[in-house]
Structure 1
Amino acid sequence: MVCLIYVVIWTSFFSAMSGLASITRVLVLLSLKLAILLSSMAEMFLTVHRINFLQEFVACKALKNLFATCGFGHLRPDLTRALAIMHLRLADINTMDFFDLVCKVLHVSEVSDGNWMLFVWDGTDAPPISLSTEIADEEWNSLPLHIEPVSLPRHVLDEFPRVGTILRVLVDEKYESFGFHFQHGDKWVRLRNLMCKTESGLWKGIFTLETKFRLLSEQDNSVKDRLRVGHDRLSEQGRIPSAVIPGHDVLTVVGNEDADFTTLLDLLCSPLVCGGFKCIVRVVATYPSRAKDFLTPEGLYRLRLTLEDPTARIHAYLSHEDAVFLFGGDLEDYAVSDKMKKLLGVDEYGEKSSKNPPWVQCCIGFNSSGPSKQFHICKTAFAV
Structure 2
Amino acid sequence: MLREIKEGHFNLAGKILHCWEALKDNWFVYVWDGTDTPPNAITSMLEDEINHPLPLQLESLPLPRDVLCTLPTVGSILRIAFELPIEKNHLNVLKSGKWAQFINIRLKVYAGLWYGVFTSHSKLRHTPNEDRLIAERQRLYDDRISLKSRNMPIGSMPQSIDSLPESLCITKVNHDHVRHLTLMDVLTHSEVTAKFKCVVRVVAAVPYQGEKFCTPAGKYMMRLTLEDPTARIHAFVVDEDGETLFDGYPGTANVKRKLNRLLGVTECDDSIVVNDRPRNPAWVSVCIKSYYVSKSDVWGSRNFRIFDTKIVDGP
Q: TM-score, normalised by structure 1?
A: 0.74
SS of aligned partner of 1:180: helix
SS of aligned partner of 2:241: helix
Shift of 1:355: 1.0
What is the rounded CA distance, in whole Å, between the counterparts of 2:117 and 2:242 in structure 1? 40
The residue aligned with 1:250 is: 169
Contact 1:190 1:214 survives alignment (8 Å): yes
The residue aligned with 1:114 is: 25
2:290 to 345, 350, 366: 366
In the TM superposition, what whole-angstrom CA distance separates every residue of 1:181-200 from its partner, at most 9, and x where no partner exists? Answer: 23x51111010001110001
Contact 1:133 1:353 survives alignment (8 Å): no
What is the rounded CA distance, in whole Å, between the counterparts of 2:23 and 2:212 in structure 1? 39
The residue aligned with 1:309 is: 228
1:175 to 65, 86, 94: 86
2:74 to 163, 166, 179: 163
Query: Within the alignment, does 1:293 sit opposite 2:212 as a pair?
Result: yes
Contact 2:192 2:298 survives alignment (8 Å): no
The residue aligned with 2:312 is: 383
SS of aligned partner of 1:139: coil
Contact 2:245 2:310 survives alignment (8 Å): yes
What is the rounded CA distance, in whole Å, between the counterparts of 2:69 and 2:119 in structure 1? 30
Q: Which amino acid aligns with 1:287?
A: V
SS of aligned partner of 1:169: strand
SS of aligned partner of 1:150: coil
Shift of 1:125: 0.2
Contact 1:264 1:279 survives alignment (8 Å): yes
Structure 2: gaps spanning 5 or more residues: 268-272
Query: Within the alignment, does 1:132 sit opposite 2:56 as a pair?
Result: no
Where does 1:55-204 land on structure 2 (aligned, <5 Å)? 89-96=1-8, 98-177=9-88, 178-182=90-94, 185-204=96-115
What is the rounded CA distance, in whole Å, between the counterparts of 2:43 and 2:276 in structure 1? 7
Shift of 1:350: 7.4
SS of aligned partner of 2:233: strand
The residue aligned with 2:270 is: none
Where does 1:222-233 land on structure 2 (aligned, <5 Å)? 222-233=133-144
Shift of 1:235: 2.7
SS of aligned partner of 1:261: coil
SS of aligned partner of 2:177: coil
What is the rounded CA distance, in whole Å, between the counterparts of 2:63 and 2:85 in structure 1? 24
Shift of 1:231: 1.5
Contact 1:136 1:350 survives alignment (8 Å): no
Point out the structure with the larger helix share.
Answer: 1
Q: Which amino acid aligns with 2:280?
A: N
What is the rounded CA distance, in whole Å, between the counterparts of 1:319 and 1:102 in structure 2? 43
2:151 to 239, 258, 262: 239
Q: Which amino acid aligns with 1:371?
A: W
SS of aligned partner of 1:377: strand
SS of aligned partner of 2:266: coil
Shift of 1:164: 0.4
Shift of 1:114: 3.1
The residue aligned with 1:340 is: 259
Contact 1:261 1:277 survives alignment (8 Å): yes
SS of aligned partner of 1:299: coil
Aligned residues: 294
SS of aligned partner of 2:44: coil
What is the rounded CA distance, in whole Å, between the counterparts of 2:234 and 2:25 in structure 1? 31
Greater CA drift, 187-196 or 370-379: 370-379
Q: TM-score, normalised by structure 2?
A: 0.89
Structure 1: gaps spanning 5 or more residues: 1-88
In the TM superposition, what whole-angstrom CA distance separates every residue of 1:32-74 from its partner, at most 9, and x where no partner exists? Answer: xxxxxxxxxxxxxxxxxxxxxxxxxxxxxxxxxxxxxxxxxxx
What is the rounded CA distance, in whole Å, between the counterparts of 1:378 and 1:198 in structure 2? 31
Query: Alignment identity in percent?
Result: 37
Greater CA drift, 270-279 or 367-376: 367-376
Contact 1:115 1:176 survives alignment (8 Å): no
1:353 to 277, 281, 284: 277
What is the rounded CA distance, in whole Å, between the counterparts of 2:130 and 2:219 in structure 1? 59
Q: Which amino acid aligns with 2:93?
A: H
Q: Which amino acid aligns with 2:264?
A: G
Query: Looking at both structures, which has the greater relative contact order when contacts are Cα pairs under 8 Å and sequence separation is at least 6?
Result: 2
Contact 2:83 2:120 survives alignment (8 Å): no
Greater CA drift, 130-139 or 244-253: 244-253
Q: Which amino acid aligns with 2:123?
A: K
Shift of 1:330: 4.9
